[in-house]
Structure 1
Amino acid sequence: MSQQFNLDKFDVNGDVREAAESAGVDRSTFLRNGAIAGAGAVGVGIFGLPTLAQAKISTKPSAKNDGKILQYALTLEYLEAAFYAAAVDQDNFKTPELKQFAQVVAKHEAQHVKDLKAALGKAAVKPPSLDPTAVAAIIAPDAFGPTAALLEDTGVSAYAGQGPNLKQRAVIKIALSIHSVEARHAAWIHTLLGGGAVGAPVADYPAPRAYDKAKSQAQILKAVTGLKGGGKTLVTKVDTSKF
């Protein structure tokens, strides 16, 4: 059955480590920032959920495929929105600048979720289930910034990966408008983590290379479901039945 979504209701207001590495952030960067050092930090596993093999977005553009891509995008936006909402609610940041970043981006991601759900209507995919222990670990003061960078770099790679698979002009406009905002988020957080300082390693720069590498649906889902915090897998369940 084809996916049904109402584009008229959409109102645009304006593998995680692997995906991040493809965007110019290498493993040494994460180690320097403390992203995968220590028991309470975030790490990336090499395993995904069994159902991911059944989820497949076609590389042949069609209206039906556009619906699947929107469901996939909504799933990723759910994850980002939950992360920032939890961090803002906890209100324990290393710097005022990181707090401001979290507050602003939390509103953006919540808006993305709201509008994608409106576009998809009753067919909208359900949010992924998250482990509370893992959430608490990745929003801890030392882990929040590096985790935010991971998620934003992943979002940029994910939208870039699906752009060529889109057919309808309205959906392309939606994806492009979100993609550019996610890229701004990524540049912002990398700057706050020191990437904009004179003498910073090139891999840490807000814009470390001339071209970003796109990532496939399978690569992104494997990475996201491999996210870990506090020794627990972050995403415990994800619904891939609609994409």
Structure 2
Amino acid sequence: MATTASSSTTPSRLRREVAVRAVSALLRWLHHHPTPAPEPIYLIIALKRAPIRRFEHRLRLPHSPFPSISLVSDRLPADLPDDIDPLPSAALRSLPAAARRGLVLVDRRIRVPSGKATSKSKGARPVPVDLADPAWAESAREAARCVELRVEGGTCRAVRVGHAAMALEEAVENVVAAVEAAAACVPRKWKNVRALHVKSPESIALPLYSAPGTGGDGDAEDAKRDGDAAAAAEQEQGKAKRRKTSSVGS
């Protein structure tokens, strides 16, 4: 059963300065490797033990982790907001890159076809919207601030928390909020969190937190090492990218 969580009553074990270093390093790397549409940023949550039962939680973030909101409809409202881009129903067959990276709203009057165009692997997130509702635009913006944490098996899950075009402070706020909400949702809460990382699809995972006894001791020195590791990881990402480019060209 899906529930909504926005914060944890348990003190967070994530140090904000570590989140700032990791997110800053990731954003710098993304800015040096631009793409036609802003790359998503994910929070990677590794648990010590897999939950016995599957669960879903909606995590509300301070800022939308999507760079854009698109509305697929053949009968657009006359007062379409400037921050929502119109798309025809034909776009569902082959969504533009920008739409695949953003939040896609679909008029309830349109049947969403199954297939690659709307698959999760393409990054699209079709959300049905009722344009007859006067508050549909605000509901859409609220939907853009919510992400789902799904645990169906295994111990590792990814949650979208931002994108490459976000300001550093906004991205950090989203990461911190997602960590606290996720830690409050998972069984046994922080006791079951083994590690937290932040990454984009093409980057390596930058460390945010390691539970005591799993590679870090959880003290201030460990936080410093994680922060330093984030900066070092940024350099390693650049080296890996150059090696990949060199191997393709050879």
TM-score by length of 1: 0.28
TM-score by length of 2: 0.27
Pair member with larger Rg: 2
Larger relative contact order (Cα-Cα within 8 Å, sequence gap ≥ 6): 1
Higher helix residue share: 1
